[in-house]
Amino acid sequence: MAEKLSGDEIEKAMQELEGWEKLADKDAIFKSFKFKNFSEAWGFMNRAALLAEKMNHHPEWFNVWNRVDVTLNTHDVGGLSELDVKMAKRMNSFAA
């Protein structure tokens, strides 16, 4: 089972997560991904969905045309866990 990250662990993780921001009003991280078109955005979402199923860790996301807004947190721990950090890193690699 995942464990909630401490403040220091979150701070360290944020230094490794390019483009992600810690939300002020929620114990979560957020990033808005932008692609050339809807097809690229959809491909990113497909890859992320397969990862989410494999990890049994599902993002909160919103898609409009070439943009995918992603919010990650771990509901089971009431905040951020290593699962969120791993998923954010993989999503960054999918979008690269």
> What are the pLDDT digits (tens) for 1-41?
789 999 999 999 999 999 999 999 889 999 999 999 999 99
Nearest to 72 by CA among 8, 6, 10: 10
Domain boundary assignment for the chain: 7-95
- 72 pLDDT band, cuts 50/70/90, is very high
Task: State the pLDDT at residue 67.
Answer: 98
Question: E strand or H helix at 30, and its extent?
Answer: strand 29-34
Strands 21-22 and 67-72: unpaired
Find the mean pLDDT for residues 44-59.
96
* CATH fold of 7-95: Gyrase A; domain 2 (3.30.1360)
